[in-house]
C-alpha cells in the first residue's frame, strides 16, 4: 500500500481532458485566497477543484476567529508577543522566521479581508477581540459571534465568483497527481457525470485540508480524509510531522450525534469545565486553568473522564449570561437547542475530538513542496508555523498568508513555462482487481483503531499494535481497484494512518500534541521533524527540521 503509485488504471487517450494554467485543489480559505491572488495579478486561467459544495469546506466550521494584532494601542498587544506565544505553543519545533512572516503579513491579510467586505464583530465601534488558550492578550477577531470561518469563506467565495478567469469545479474528487519527468503536471479527477477527467496545469496548488476524519471523535467536515497528504506522498512529495494531531478539548458529546465544536472562545469568555460531580478541575492541572494550551486541556479532560468513569465532562457557560451567549455564541446556542440543551441554564456535555492536523506536505516559506510544480498551503501544508502544537486561531491567519504566498511563487515560476497544447500519452495499468469489500465497516474500524491506539495519549505498545493491524488492512485493499470516491478515500485514510503510526512510534518523547505515556518528557534528541517520502521511506532519527 505504501509503495502504490496510482489508485486506478487509466489511459490518457480515452478520458476527458481540461487545460488550465494553475489548478487549485481545495476551496477553503487557503485555496480561495490563492485563486484570488492569481486572478488579481495575472491573466492566467485558474481552476479550483472542490471535493464538495463550497460551503462544505472546513473553513466554514472555524468558530473561534482569526488571531491578528490589529489594534495594539487598544489591547496592549504587539506582533512580538504574538510571535512569542506562537513559538511557545510550538514546543521547540515552530520555525521563528515563518512565525514572523505569518504574524506580520497576517495583519495586512486580515485588513484586506475587511476591505473586501468581511464584517468582524465590534464593540463601541471598534473590532472586539477575545482571548483564547495560549494567547497572553485578547487578539482574536471574530465574526457573527462564533461564525468567523463562514464569514471569511463567504467573502473569499464572492471575490472568486467575481473573477472571470477563475472556474470552480464542485463535486470533483482528486484521485492522484500526475507527474512527468519528476514534475507535477496535472491531476486525475473523478466526477459523477463525467467519470475520469485529467486536468493539466503548469502549476498545482494543494489546499485540500487535513485528516481529522481518521478519528472516530472529530470536529471536521466530511471531506477531511487525508486525500491531499496521500496524493502528494504517492506523487513523491515529502511529508512531515504527521504524528502531531491536535485534539480540541470541547466537542459536543451526545451519543449518536455529530461532534460539533464548542469554540475555545467560550472558555475565554468565562466558561469553566466541571466533571460529572460538578467539580471544576482545570485549576489543578495547569495555572492557566481553562485557558491552558489545548493539548493540556484535552489530556486533563481525558484523565477526569477516566477517574469518574464517565464518557464526558461538562462545559458550564451559565455564568456568562443569556445576552452575552446570544451575542457571542449564537451558533453554539442553536446547536445545543437542537438536542434540548439550554446553555443558559445547564452545562454542555463535551469531550475531546480530533480537530486540526499539524502534519502534511513539507513546504518552504513560499509554499513550494519538494516536488517541482506542486505548492501547498493551509492545513495540508507544513510551513513550520505550528511546530508541535498549533496556537488557537492561527490557522486562518496561516491560510490567508500562505494562500497568497504560494500563489505569488506559482505565478513567478510558471512565467516562462509553456502551455500544454495537447495531453501527453500516459497509460497506467495497476493490474489490480475489483473485489467486494465492506468499505463502511473498514472505515469505522479504522476510525475506532486510531482513536483507541493513536489518540490523545499513546504508548509504544499501542502504536506497534496499530501499525501491525493497519498493515494487515492495507494488504486487504492493496490489490483492489475501486471505482468510486468511498473506496479511494478508504485507501487514502489507510495510507495516512500508517504514516501517522510510524511517525508516532519513532517519536519517543512527549512534545506538544504528541503525548507518549511511556516517554512522558520532552527529549532534546527529538527536537526535529520526521520527514517521509515514498522514495526514501521514513528518515532516520536525527532528521533535520
Q: Are 198 and 423 in contact (CB under 8 A)?
A: yes
pLDDT of residue 536: 78
> Which range (94-103, 146-155, 507-516) has the least confidence?
146-155
Distance CA 530, CA 359 (A): 10
Determine the Cα–Cα distance for residues 191 and 205; give it in Å rounded to an integer.
20
Listed residue (299, 320, 301, 321) closest to 311, CA to CA = 301
pLDDT higher than 90, residue 63: no
Q: Dihedrals φ, ψ of 66, to 5°?
A: -125, 130
- Rounded Cα distance, 192 and 451, in Å: 32
| Mean pLDDT value of segment 433-462 | 92
Q: What percent of the chain has pLDDT over 70?
A: 96
Is the pLDDT score of 416 beyond 50?
yes
pLDDT of residue 545 exceeding 50: no
Q: Is 67's pLDDT higher than 80?
A: yes
Residues counted in the chain: 545
Question: DSSP string spanning 180-245?
Answer: ETTEEEEEEEEETTTEEEEEEEEEEEE-----GGGSSSB---TT-SSHHHHHHHHHT--EE-TT-E
The whole-angstrom separation of Cα 10 and Cα 379 is: 30
For position 542, what pLDDT does the model report? 45
- Counting residues of the chain whose pLDDT is more than 90, the rounded percentage is 68
Give the domains, in start order, of the chain with CATH numbers: 10-199+224-244+358-413 (3.50.50.60), 248-355 (3.90.700.10), 431-531 (1.20.58.100)
| Highest mean pLDDT out of 259-263, 289-293, 390-394 | 390-394
Q: Which pLDDT tens digit goes with each residue over 23-60?
A: 999 999 999 999 999 998 877 899 999 998 877 787 87
User: What pLDDT score does 5 carry?
Assistant: 85
Mean pLDDT calculated for residue range 246-273: 86
Lowest average pLDDT, out of 76-80, 486-490, 534-538, goes to: 534-538
Give the predicted TM-score (pTM) of the model.
0.93
Q: How far apart are CA 15 and CA 197, in angstroms?
A: 6
Dmax (CA) of the chain: 69
pLDDT for res 422: 65
pLDDT at 321 > cutoff 80: yes
At residue 1, the pLDDT reads: 61
What pLDDT, in 10s, does the model give residues 188-234? 999 988 899 999 999 999 999 999 999 998 988 888 999 999 999 99
- pLDDT, one tens digit per residue, over 216-229 is 989 888 889 999 99
Q: Which three cell numbers stand for residue 23?
A: 489548478
In this predicted structure, what is the pLDDT of residue 420? 63
Local confidence band at 308 (pLDDT 50, 70, 90 cut-offs): very high
Q: Active-site positions?
A: 294
Task: In whole angstroms, give the CA distance from residue 501 to residue 505.
Answer: 6
Q: What confidence score (pLDDT) does residue 539 get?
A: 53
What pLDDT shows up at residue 436?
Answer: 76
Average pLDDT, the chain: 91
Q: Which residues 6+ apart lie within 8 Å of 515 measured at CB?
A: 295, 299, 456, 457, 458
- Average pLDDT for residues 373-384, to the nearest whole number? 98
For the chain, the straight-line distance linking the first and the last C-alpha, in angstroms and rounded, comes to 26
How much is the pLDDT for 315? Answer: 96
Distance CA 233, CA 70 (A): 38
Written as nine digits, the cell of 15 is 478520458
Q: Tell me, what's the pLDDT at 8?
A: 87
Instruction: Tell me the pLDDT band of 296, cut-offs 50, 70 and 90.
Output: confident
Mean pLDDT along residues 165-169: 94
Whether the pLDDT of residue 424 is over 80: the answer is: no
Quick check: 334 pLDDT over 60?
A: yes
Cβ 387 vs Cβ 93: under 8 Å = yes
Cβ proximity of 294 and 246 under 8 Å: yes
pLDDT value of position 544: 42
pLDDT at 431: 65
**pLDDT tens digits, 100-126:** 999 999 999 999 999 999 999 898 889
Residue 58: predicted pLDDT: 75
**Residue scoring higher pLDDT (48 or 540):** 48
Amino acid at each position: 500500500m505504501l509503495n502504490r503509485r496510482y489508485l486506478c488504471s487509466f489511459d490518457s487517450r480515452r478520458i476527458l481532458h481540461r487545460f488550465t494554467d494553475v489548478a487549485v485543489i481545495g476551496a477553503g480559505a487557503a485555496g480561495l485566497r490563492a485563486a484570488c491572488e492569481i486572478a488579481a495579478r495575472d491573466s492566467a486561467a485558474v481552476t479550483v477543484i472542490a471535493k464538495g459544495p463550497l460551503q462544505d469546506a472546513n473553513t466554514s466550521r472555524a468558530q473561534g476567529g482569526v488571531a491578528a494584532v490589529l489594534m495594539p494601542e487598544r489591547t496592549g498587544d504587539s506582533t512580538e508577543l504574538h510571535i512569542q506565544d506562537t513559538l511557545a505553543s510550538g514546543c521547540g519545533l515552530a520555525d521563528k522566521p515563518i512565525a514572523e512572516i505569518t504574524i506580520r503579513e497576517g495583519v495586512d491579510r486580515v485588513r484586506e479581508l475587511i476591505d473586501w467586505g468581511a464584517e468582524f464583530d465590534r464593540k463601541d465601534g471598534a473590532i472586539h477581540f477575545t482571548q483564547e488558550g495560549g494567547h497572553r492578550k485578547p487578539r482574536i477577531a471574530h465574526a457573527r459571534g462564533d461564525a468567523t470561518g463562514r464569514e471569511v469563506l463567504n467573502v473569499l467565495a464572492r471575490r472568486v465568483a467575481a473573477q472571470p478567469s477563475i472556474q470552480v469545479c464542485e463535486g470533483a474528487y482528486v484521485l492522484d497527481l500526475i507527474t512527468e519527468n519528476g514534475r507535477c503536471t496535472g491531476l486525475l479527477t473523478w466526477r459523477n457525470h463525467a467519470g475520469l477527467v485529467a486536468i493539466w496545469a503548469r502549476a498545482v496548488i494543494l489546499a485540500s485540508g487535513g485528516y481529522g476524519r481518521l478519528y472516530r471523535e472529530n470536529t471536521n467536515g466530511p471531506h477531511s480524509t487525508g486525500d491531499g497528504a496521500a496524493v502528494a506522498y504517492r506523487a513523491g512529495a515529502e511529508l512531515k510531522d504527521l504524528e502531531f494531531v491536535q485534539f480540541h478539548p470541547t466537542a459536543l458529546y451526545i451519543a449518536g450525534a455529530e461532534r460539533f465544536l464548542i469554540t475555545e472562545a467560550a472558555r475565554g469568555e468565562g466558561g469553566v469545565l466541571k466533571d460529572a460531580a460538578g467539580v471544576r478541575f482545570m485549576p489543578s492541572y495547569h495555572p492557566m486553568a481553562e485557558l491552558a494550551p489545548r493539548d493540556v486541556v484535552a489530556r486533563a479532560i481525558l484523565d477526569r473522564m477516566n477517574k469518574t468513569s464517565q464518557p464526558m465532562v461538562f462545559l458550564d457557560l451559565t455564568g456568562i449570561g443569556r445576552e452575552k451567549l446570544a451575542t457571542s455564541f449564537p451558533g453554539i446556542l442553536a446547536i445545543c437547542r437542537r438536542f434540548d440543551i439550554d446553555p443558559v441554564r445547564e452545562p454542555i456535555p463535551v469531550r475531546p475530538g480530533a480537530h486540526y492536523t499539524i502534519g502534511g506536505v513539507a513546504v518552504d516559506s513560499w509554499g513550494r513542496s519538494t516536488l517541482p510544480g506542486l505548492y501547498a498551503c493551509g492545513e495540508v501544508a507544513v510551513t513550520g508555523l505550528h511546530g508541535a502544537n498549533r496556537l488557537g486561531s492561527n490557522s486562518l491567519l496561516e491560510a490567508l498568508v500562505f494562500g497568497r504566498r504560494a500563489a505569488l511563487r506559482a505565478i513567478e515560476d510558471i512565467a516562462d513555462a509553456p502551455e500544454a497544447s495537447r495531453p501527453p500519452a500516459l497509460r497506467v495499468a495497476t493490474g489490480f482487481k475489483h473485489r467486494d469489500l465492506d468499505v463502511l465497516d473498514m472505515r469505522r474500524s479504522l476510525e475506532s483503531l486510531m482513536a483507541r491506539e493513536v489518540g490523545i495519549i499513546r504508548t509504544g505498545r499501542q502504536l506497534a499494535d496499530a501499525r501491525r493491524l493497519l498493515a494487515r488492512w492495507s494488504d486487504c485493499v492493496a490489490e483492489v481497484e475501486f471505482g468510486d470516491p468511498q473506496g479511494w478515500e478508504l485507501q487514502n485514510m489507510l495510507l495516512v494512518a500508517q504514516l501517522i503510526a510510524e511517525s508516532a512510534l519513532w517519536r519517543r518523547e512527549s512534545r506538544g500534541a504528541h503525548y507518549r505515556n511511556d516517554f512522558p518528557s520532552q527529549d532534546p534528541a527529538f527536537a526535529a521533524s520526521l520527514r517521509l517520502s515514498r522514495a526514501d521511506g521514513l528518515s532516520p532519527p536525527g532528521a533535520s527540521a
